[in-house]
Amino acid sequence: MNALNIINKTQLVPLTTLVSRDDVEPLCDILMDVSIPIVEITLRDERTLEIVDEFKKFPEINLGIGTIRTKSHIDIANKANASFLITPGFSEDLADYAASKNIVMIPGVQTPSEIMKASEVGFKTLKFFPAELSGGVSRLKAYKSVFPDIKFIPTGGITDENTLSYLALDNVIAVGASALIPADLIKSQSWEEIRNKLEKSKELISNS
């Protein structure tokens, strides 16, 4: 099952920033325990390369690398055996490079022009970012009639309070949320609290 199928199935893309490779094992254990075998790690600095490389020990986790902005970032994702990568905006040059590496790319878009450009080169699943600041649910409702063949993963400002409103839209396959694995809980090693957040969100979706 490829990354997009996993995303479509889980309806959640937890995203976070890790500070140490020691964070990888407890995080992966929790993700598997709660049956959300996917995570997006934000690319912040050179330390991320060492950290994401640790995920090779956990092939059952579909690793995504986020905030991809350059070809060298794609190389980092490729070296880490990432299942998918996510860009904050759309770049045809990066799209071509990702395709040459056979990595699933989910480009970020906000405006109709960006959606059209991404669609013209074959993308059907896009990250809508920053979701809440860009009009949120109402904007995506409007996009449904204009871009009926495009699916979105809204990211940015996603909470337990608005998750179901997004997932109720026909053109939304999942939400991306840093609130599921807050960076401060990673830093404090609050793994049980992270587990509880993930379980709560999964239960919320399952009961909808």
The pLDDT-based confidence of 137 (bands split at 50, 70, 90) is very high
What is the arithmetic mean of pLDDT over 58-63?
Answer: 97
Q: Which of 53, 114, 117, 61 is nearest to 88 (CA)?
A: 114
The pLDDT-based confidence of 74 (bands split at 50, 70, 90) is very high
Annotated catalytic, 127? yes
The pLDDT-based confidence of 50 (bands split at 50, 70, 90) is confident
- Tell me if 72 is assigned to some domain: yes
The parent domain of residue 57 ranges over: 3-202
pTM: 0.96
- Tell me if 207 is assigned to some domain: no
Domain CATH number, residue 164: 3.20.20.70
- Tell me if 208 is assigned to some domain: no
In terms of DSSP bridges, do strands 38-42 and 151-154 run parallel, antiparallel, or are they unpaired? unpaired
Point out the catalytic residue in the list 60, 79, 127, 193.
Answer: 127
- Tell me if 140 is assigned to some domain: yes
- Tell me if 136 is assigned to some domain: yes
pLDDT tens per residue across span 143-155? 999 999 999 999 9
pLDDT of residue 44: 79
Whether residue 36 is predicted with pLDDT greater than 80 in this model: the reply is: yes
Whether residue 88 is predicted with pLDDT greater than 80 in this model: the reply is: yes
- Tell me if 115 is assigned to some domain: yes
Q: How far is CA 13 from the centre of its chain?
A: 5
Point out the catalytic residue in the list 9, 25, 40, 60.
Answer: 40
pLDDT tens per residue across span 90-108? 999 999 999 999 999 999 9
Share of the chain above pLDDT 70, in %: 100
Annotated catalytic, 40? yes
Domain count, the chain: 1
- Tell me if 194 is assigned to some domain: yes
